[in-house]
Amino acid sequence: QSALTQPPSASGSPGQSVTISCTGTSSDIGGYNYVSWYQQHPGKVPKLMIYEVTKRPSGVPDRFSGSKSGNTASLTVSGLQAEDEADYYCSSYGGRKNYVFGTGTKVTVL
Amino acid sequence: EVQLVESGGGLVLPGGSLRLSCAASGFTFSNFWMSWVRQAPGKGLEWVANINQDGSQNYVDSVKGRFTISRDNAKNSLDLQMNSLRVEDTAVYYCAREGAWHLDLWGRGTLVTVSS
């Protein structure tokens, strides 16, 4: 199964918003509401930020929000802060009791 | 404390074998599906395998027939037996707890290097 497609990079100034897209197919993103997003700082462990398209785990700021339209999911980070600079990965249920991850997006806070 | 701790990584020759382990604590291990996810140096995340509470397993195509995931609910442990290792299996291997098709708890990872 092919990886989900994400832009390699995205950036914004502090206080601004940045949106990351994640494009799949009708067999993964488009077929299920099981999209999740992970934040990974350099040398650190991935952290769950969004699950089931729009839900935030306890402790994740409400500046992080998720959405989905058709075969594309999106993560929006509002009110960018310096600590939001990290790599972000989307993931989806792949339809055959497996996961498929995105290619990853490096977010830079200018 | 709720945590996952991996062990067993190291340097292995191509064609060799290695067994990774993950010790779970702070939660009811037997209630959860568990996964292994890997990340090659400088690359993205790749899901490798998972196992449900009863031992039913799923694998990414690239490791089918070479890797075996298993669990011991009595010992709160998860294993990954890796055989016929290839250079392209070099990665940090993370143990992760599953929610409904998301991974809500990750270990710190263990590095596997396949090289001659």
Q: Which pLDDT band, with edges at 50, 70 and 90, does B35 fall under?
A: very high
Q: Does A52 touch chain B (CB under 8 A)?
A: yes
Q: Does B90 touch chain A (CB under 8 A)?
A: no
SS (H, E, C) A30-62: HHCCCEEEEEECCCCCCEEEEECCCECCCCCCC
Facing residue for B103 by CB, picked from A1, A48, A103: A48
Q: Residue B90 above 80 pLDDT?
A: yes
What digits encode the pLDDT tens for the residues B62-81? 999 999 999 999 999 999 99
Facing residue for A46 by CB, picked from B58, B59, B106: B106
What digits encode the pLDDT tens for the residues B38-59? 999 999 999 999 999 999 999 9
Contact B106 A100 (CB under 8 A): no
Residue of B nearest to A39 (CA): B45
Contact A102 B99 (CB under 8 A): no
Instruction: Work out the average pLDDT over B82-96.
Output: 98
β-pair partners for B73: none
What is the structure's pLDDT at A87?
98
| Identity of residue A8 | P
Phi, psi of B85 (to 5 degrees): -65, 145
Average pLDDT of chain B is 97
Instruction: Work out the average pLDDT over B10-14.
Output: 97
- The pLDDT tens digits along chain A (110 residues) read 789 999 999 999 999 999 999 999 999 999 999 999 999 999 999 999 999 999 999 999 999 999 999 999 999 999 999 999 999 999 999 888 889 999 999 999 99
Q: Does A88 touch chain B (CB under 8 A)?
A: no
Facing residue for B106 by CB, picked from A32, A45, A99: A45
Is B7 in contact with B95 (CB distance < 8 Å)?
no
Contact A1 B61 (CB under 8 A): yes
Is B5 in contact with B97 (CB distance < 8 Å)?
no
Q: Does A38 touch chain B (CB under 8 A)?
A: yes
Q: Exposed, middle or buried by CB within 10 Å (0-12, 13-18, 19+), for A29?
A: buried
What is the structure's pLDDT at B83?
98
Residue of A nearest to B36 (CA): A99
